């Protein structure tokens, strides 16, 4: 039987993440939205708290750095999300780093998405390292902050069309190319760069490399001015004869072009549930705030009454709550599957697609329902509406997620269904 409650061992983590959202993130949210590119110093305390949780073992992976695919599951029998029991002797159910990361990020994004993305050592690159690095690399990169560089000026959703090259030269690789929209690119210690070993081989030759932010060949071109998540820095880089040690190629140090892209793509199986959880957190914030504002105006939805018997505002809230629940459950499923070593590419894309689109629709609807209050800076609703759009775009657009799901359902390859 599936237990949909938060696992008991994660309850303290979720409560602390919720407190961070309410007591730290929301009070400074508007400040750093206006002071774009200024580093939020208040986050140093937050990162210290997360480090303390991780060191104590209480967090089971509080954030992106803890998110990793279960390397080994003792019993493959299906169980379900929520019991919080150990793997042994319970039918193989494991609630681990992926689920705890999703649950904690969902709470912090209820406070602010941009600030969550700005927490040191919790970058999407950390999730990439956790997904495909070998044990030695995971130990070496430790608690360092890693950004992820995939997108290029001519390559957005089609990661297989990456033009950045990596050419072997002795014990090093030489990287050349451009990367844009790198979240936390300026602030991070490391940047996980996707590059191709041989353009003629297409997707199969793509690998990911860990590049020191201080590497002289990794040149910061600019920081982007954005619609939303302004407290998070978004960088553009030029890689000019950027030399990287061969052992900084993520995963198996031997170059095997067969299946190479599949290894790199495992990154998304970890990061897409994380982005879905960000969308769920922001959706929850919008719904809670709008429900409170409408209650003050005398509008209270009744989940037991037919929608047609209620006001438009009340009925709309009920419908949006249903959409949130669907996104939430899809996100938990994708994370739980990763914890239990189950292939979750389709489920990760389902979660990302549903949560991203739900977040945008709910955020805009809440601005509308709140009227002038929703559009003004007296509430955070207008900011959340701006922040929401990126969650439907990065880590694979809405359209790409639906394409991935369609390929999996129809059992077609990328060349058969484009």
The answer to whether 62 touches 44, Cβ cutoff 8 Å, is: no
Type and span of the H or E element at 182:
strand 172-183
CA gyration radius, the chain = 21
Instruction: Give which of 351, 353, 379 is closest to 366, Cα–Cα.
Output: 379
Which residue in 152, 379, 382, 395 is the catalytic one? Answer: 395
Region label for 241, one of left (φ > 0), alpha (ψ between -120 and 50) or beta (otherwise): left
Residues in the chain: 418
Torsion of CA 405, 107, 363, 402, to 10 degrees: 0
Can you read off the two tokens belonging to residue 368?
A: 């509308």
Reply yes or no on whether 186 is catalytic: no
Separation between Cα atoms, residue 378 and residue 399, nearest integer Å = 34
The answer to whether 187 touches 122, Cβ cutoff 8 Å, is: no
Instruction: Give which of 130, 152, 163, 93 is closest to 332, Cα–Cα.
Output: 93
- Sign of the dihedral through C-alpha 13, 19, 24, 29: positive
Separation between Cα atoms, residue 188 and residue 29, nearest integer Å = 21
Can you read off the two tokens belonging to residue 319?
A: 């419908």
Residues marked as catalytic? 395
């Amino acid at each position: 039987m599936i237990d949909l409650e938060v696992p008991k061992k994660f309850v303290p983590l979720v409560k602390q993440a919720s407190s961070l959202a309410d007591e730290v993130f929301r009070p400074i949210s508007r400040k750093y939205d206006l002071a774009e590119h200024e580093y939020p110093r208040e986050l140093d305390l937050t990162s210290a708290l997360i480090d303390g949780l991780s060191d104590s073992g209480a967090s089971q992976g509080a954030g992106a750095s803890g998110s990793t695919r279960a390397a080994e599951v003792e019993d493959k029998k299906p169980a379900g999300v929520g019991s919080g029991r150990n793997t042994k002797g319970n039918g193989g159910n494991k609630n681990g780093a992926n689920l705890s990361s999703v649950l904690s990020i969902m709470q912090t994004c209820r406070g602010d998405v941009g600030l969550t993305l700005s927490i040191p050592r919790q970058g999407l690159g950390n999730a990439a390292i956790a997904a495909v690095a070998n044990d030695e690399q995971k130990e070496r990169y430790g608690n360092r902050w890693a950004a992820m560089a995939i997108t290029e000026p001519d390559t957005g959703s089609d990661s297989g069309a990456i033009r950045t090259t990596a050419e072997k030269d002795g014990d090093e690789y030489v990287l050349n190319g451009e990367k844009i929209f790198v979240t936390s690119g300026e602030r991070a210690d490391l940047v996980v760069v996707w590059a191709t070993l041989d353009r003629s081989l297409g997707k199969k030759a793509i690998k990911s490399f860990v590049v020191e932010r201080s590497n002289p060949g990794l040149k910061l071109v600019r920081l982007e001015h954005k619609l939303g998540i302004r407290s998070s820095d978004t960088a553009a880089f030029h890689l000019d004869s950027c030399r990287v040690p061969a052992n900084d190629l993520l995963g198996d140090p031997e170059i095997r072009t067969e299946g190479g892209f599949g290894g790199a793509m495992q990154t998304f199986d970890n990061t897409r549930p994380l982005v879905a959880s960000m969308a769920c957190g922001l959706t929850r914030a919008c719904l809670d705030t709008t429900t409170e504002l409408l209650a003050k105006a005398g509008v209270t939805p009744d989940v037991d009454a037919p929608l047609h018997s209620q006001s438009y505002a009340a009925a709309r809230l009920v419908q949006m709550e249903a959409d949130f629940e669907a996104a939430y459950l899809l996100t938990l499923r994708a994370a739980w599957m990763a914890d239990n070593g189950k292939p979750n590419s389709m489920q990760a894309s389902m979660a990302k697609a549903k949560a991203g689109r739900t977040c945008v629709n709910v955020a805009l609807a809440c601005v509308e329902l709140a009227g002038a209050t929703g559009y003004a800076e007296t509430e955070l609703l207008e900011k959340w509406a701006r922040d929401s759009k990126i969650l439907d775009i990065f880590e694979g657009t809405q359209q790409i997620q639906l394409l991935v799901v369609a390929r999996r359902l129809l059992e077609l390859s990328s060349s058969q269904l484009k």
